[in-house]
Copies of this chain bind each other. A is one copy, B any other.
Amino acid sequence: MNFCTSCGSKVALKIPEGDDRERFVCVNCETIHYVNPRVIVGCVPVYQDKVLLCKRAIEPRYGYWTLPAGFMENGETTPEGAARETWEEARARVSGLELYRVFDVPYISQVYMFYRCEIDDGAFGVGPESLESALYSEAEIPWDEIAFPAVKETLREYFQDVAEGRFPVRVSAIEYKRRNKE
């Protein structure tokens, strides 16, 4: 951040009075500009014993498979955002959303929230950010072509939870370079 969104003057990093960390503060109008983590909302869309995945038509991880997910927008709830992303990326309408998996990704200041849900009538398609979409059973999942570690972990946990008949909400953090370690 270089310039103030309010008045267009330069900003400088300094610790505001009563605060304990550096913020971007306008040198002219003194507005404090907070920069906060962003929320990514997504779904684990289920039909019968299968999960809907999308093959990414965009970078990063072009050509790899993922769960439908994207940045939460202003004015929506987290399940609304998750359902919207599922429509946009996989042209599926979903119901019965239940919070299922939270990932913190502190090194890029992101929080992922995945909702389990059912695909209405099992109908889906392909949105503009996807090359294709498909329903996969556990045995069919292309494990070596999953785009992100968080998605792979969520899928593994999901099929395990199906087997055990319980779906606890899990929270964990993804550390830097985790993908390379796998």
Interface residues on A, range: 35 or more
Which residues of chain B have C-beta atoms less than 8 A from A128's C-beta?
18
**By the criterion CB–CB under 8 Å, are A5 and B7 in contact?**
no
Task: Say if the beta carbon of A32 comes within 8 Å of chain B.
Answer: no
Chain A 109-122 near chain B by CB (<8 Å), digits 1 or 0: 10101000000000
Contacts A2-B8, A4-B3, A109-B75; A169 near B99 (Cβ below 8 A): yes
- How many subunits of this chain does the assembly comprise? 2
**By the criterion CB–CB under 8 Å, are A79 and B171 in contact?**
yes
Complex Cα gap A2–B31 (Å):
13
Among A36-44, A61-69, A139-147, the one that faces the other chain is: A36-44
**By the criterion CB–CB under 8 Å, are A74 and B109 in contact?**
yes
**By the criterion CB–CB under 8 Å, are B73 and A36 in contact?**
yes
Complex Cα gap A10–B76 (Å):
27
**By the criterion CB–CB under 8 Å, are A111 and B78 in contact?**
yes
Look across to chain B and name the residue whose beta carbon is closest to the beta carbon of A1.
Answer: B5
**By the criterion CB–CB under 8 Å, are A37 and B39 in contact?**
yes
**By the criterion CB–CB under 8 Å, are B74 and A35 in contact?**
yes
Which residues of chain B have C-beta atoms less than 8 A from A18's C-beta?
128
Chain A 127-141 near chain B by CB (<8 Å), digits 1 or 0: 010000000000000
Which residues of chain B have C-beta atoms less than 8 A from A6's C-beta?
2-3
Task: Say if the beta carbon of A173 comes within 8 Å of chain B.
Answer: yes
Task: Say if the beta carbon of A30 comes within 8 Å of chain B.
Answer: no
Min CB gap A56→B, angstroms: 15
Complex Cα gap A104–B97 (Å):
14
Complex Cα gap A109–B78 (Å):
10
Min CB gap A81→B, angstroms: 9
The 9 closest A-B pairs by CB, nearest first: A77-B104, A3-B8, A74-B109, A169-B169, A1-B5, A77-B173, A8-B8, A36-B38, A99-B171
